[in-house]
Structure 1
Amino acid sequence: MITISNNPATDQPADTRRIRQEIAIVLVVTFGLSGMRAALRLLSDLMQPVPLNQQQTTLAEHQSDTSWIDLAMQLCSSAMLFSWGFLALYLLRESIFSRWQPKAILEGAGLAALIGIPGLVFYLSAVHFGFSKQVVPSTLDDAWWEIIVLLIWSAANAFSEEIVVVMWLITRLEQLRIPPWVALLLSAVLRGSYHLYQGWSAGLGNIIMGLIFGAYYLKTRRVWPLILGHFLIDAVAFVGYSLLRGHLSFLGL
């Protein structure tokens, strides 16, 4: 295992070969392979006779016809995402829980507003012009546990993505003496790649989000505001859609 300090720029020279191996293994296990699959799904969808903006993709859907099995499978999927984040923290020998600061709540809310509000406008425009599928946040409306699971999903997505794609990846790339702006760009492109299954615009939009979140991390070296901001974006999308389902036709949803 590779030991690092809280400031990667001042670390002692690390084992470059092992860092490269770690990056390859972790990305194949987590978001790197997800990005490849998402790109292939988009390619397949583009080859269909139906235009992209007339196709749908669902983010949270039933995984079994039996309620308790469905719930268990939803929780297992969330646990897998959490485990990716904890794997990255273990490899970094980092603990983010001792770094909690109350101001992270306000900073996270600010980041959520900065990304979420323009992001909704961008999505609606992309669907109109044919660059995105119609994204359905959830079809779990007949399950009593829907809201709870959607909040857990939101937390799992936020935790895994910000820990792995921002904190861990940028840290490891910096240890390879890759310039920070290149590490930032690679992190953002990775984030965009595994959202491509939603359409071209989702990839671009998440690259922009990745650039903003990554730049914030490079400036502050704090990941909690990113996790909270990402959680709020997903929670509002999931839970808001669930509560307002059937009343969002004016938004094309």
Structure 2
Amino acid sequence: MTAGDVWRSWVRPPRHDVAPLGARDRRLLRTELVVVFAVTLGLSGVRSLISLLDALAGTVPLDERTTAIDQALARNPWADLAAQLAGSFALVAWGALGLYLLVRAGSGPRDIGLDGRRPGRDALAAVGLTALIGIPGLGLYLAARALGLNTTVIPSLLAEQWWTVPVLIVSACANAWAEEVLVVGYLLRTLRRLGVPENRALAISAVLRGSYHLYQGFGGGLGNLLMGLVFGRVWQRTGRLWPLVGAHALLDVIAFVGSALLRGALPFLPA
């Protein structure tokens, strides 16, 4: 297979025949999409856009601002632990909602690649995707900061407690589960049922993913849009969601735990 064949097979995803929906079912399904994302990641996208516009309207340039992802939610350490776990539980519930709605529509976990048929291959694919996304992603972040298009992102500002690292790992896994189940498995599967062309559905998914990272700046939005294009296409071609969840979790664990352990040791991790 030539490089051109590989490119064409990547750009042109395989066709999927789906059962046609009646007018009423199509309306209900569109409404379901709007409602689900209006209370989950779509709302996060709107808030992120507002945060970015507010930052641009201020007098402090983006590259002189800092953005913390995981930070203390309460003064008391035990209350903070409970609040952190509650936030992660909410993310797990978001993903579970998307999966539940797919099951109600007749699609089980196996249909979106959340079964245990090939754990070894899924794990290897997750590691490969981590390297594919993580290394260029760090370069894009540093370039965006140098160009004044991104804030300084501090993945974790949690105080050092006995539970800090376990909580950061739980947070990383919860984020990965919620985003990949909703933005890839649920959204792309539902758009396919509605007859939306695969490339258009991929663009919708990627733009949504980029939107709720705009609070970090233009670099964060663009980087996650590109990540969404890669992750979405991988799912469209393989039908496997576990590699995406695993890769996303690994990326976040490296970022969250690494920033907590190496804060101040690297130039792009301020003290």
Q: Does TM-score exceed 0.5, indicating one fold? A: yes
The equivalences for 1:50-69 within 5 A come to 50-69=60-79
Alpha-carbon distance between aligned partners in 1 of 2:264 and 2:60, rounded to the nearest angstrom? 24
Q: TM-score by structure 1 length?
A: 0.94
What amino acid maps onto 1:26 in structure 2?
V
Q: 1:13 aligns with which of 20, 23, 29?
A: 20
- The aligned counterpart of 1:181 is 199
User: 1:198 is matched with which residue: 212, 216, 230?
Assistant: 216
Match of 1:3 in 2: none
CA distance in 1, matches of 2:157, 2:119: 35
Q: Using the alignment, how far apart are the partners of 1:101 and 1:87 within structure 2?
A: 24
Contact 1:9-1:175 within 8 A present in 2 as well: no
Cα 1:99–1:89 change in 2 (3 A) is farther
Residue ranges of structure 2 left out of the alignment (5+ in a row): 1-13
Name 1:157's counterpart in structure 2.
Answer: 175
Letter in 2 for 1:44: D
Question: Which residue of the other structure, out of 186, 195, 200, is the alignment partner of 1:168?
Answer: 186
Provide the secondary structure at the position in 2 that maps to 1:178. Answer: coil
Q: Which amino acid aligns with 1:235?
A: V
Distance 1:89 1:131 in 2: 36
How far 1:8 moved relative to its partner?
A: 9.8
Among residues 78, 90, 95, which one is paired with 2:100 in the alignment? 90
In structure 1, distance between residues paired with 2:177 and 2:15? 21
Residue 4 of structure 1: aligned partner? none
Partner of 1:129: 147
Q: What's the counterpart of residue 139 of structure 1?
A: 157
Shift of 1:246: 2.0
Is the Cα contact below 8 Å between 1:62 and 1:139 reproduced in 2?
A: yes
SS in 2 for 1:9: coil
Aligned length, in residue pairs? 246
SS of the aligned residue for 1:222 comes to coil
Show CA shifts across 1:32-67 (max 9, x none): 111011001000000110000000110000000011
CA distance in 2 between counterparts of 1:232 and 1:33 reads: 25
For 2:269 and 2:83, the matched residues in 1 are separated by 30
Q: Which moved more, 1:80-89 or 1:10-19?
A: 10-19
Shift of residue 98 of structure 1?
Answer: 4.1
> Quick one: which of 255, 258, 262 aligns to 1:240?
258
**How far apart in 1 are the matches of 2:142 and 2:265?**
16
The partner residue of 2:131 within 71, 95, 113 is 113
What TM-score, normalized by structure 2, do the two folds share?
0.88
Give the counterpart letter for 1:67 in structure 2: P
Measured at CA, do residues 38 and 135 of structure 1 come closer, stay the same or move farther in structure 2, by a change above 3 Å? same
Q: Distance in 1 between matches of 2:37 and 2:266?
A: 37
Task: Give the residue type in structure 1 aligned to 2:82.
Answer: A
Please point out which of 245, 256, 261 is paired with 1:227: 245
Matched-pair contact (CA < 8 Å) for 2:231–2:244: yes
Q: Tell me the CA shift for residue 235 of structure 1.
A: 0.5
SS of the aligned residue for 1:102 comes to helix
Name the % identity. 45
Deviation at 1:100, TM superposition (A): 5.0
Note the residue ranges of structure 1 that are not aligned, 5 or more in a row: 1-6
CA RMSD of aligned residues (A): 1.5
Q: Matches of 2:45 and 2:123 in 1, distance apart?
A: 30
Which residue type is aligned with residue 160 of structure 1?
A
Report the Cα distance in structure 2 between the residues aligned to 1:99 and 1:44, rounded to whole angstroms. Answer: 47
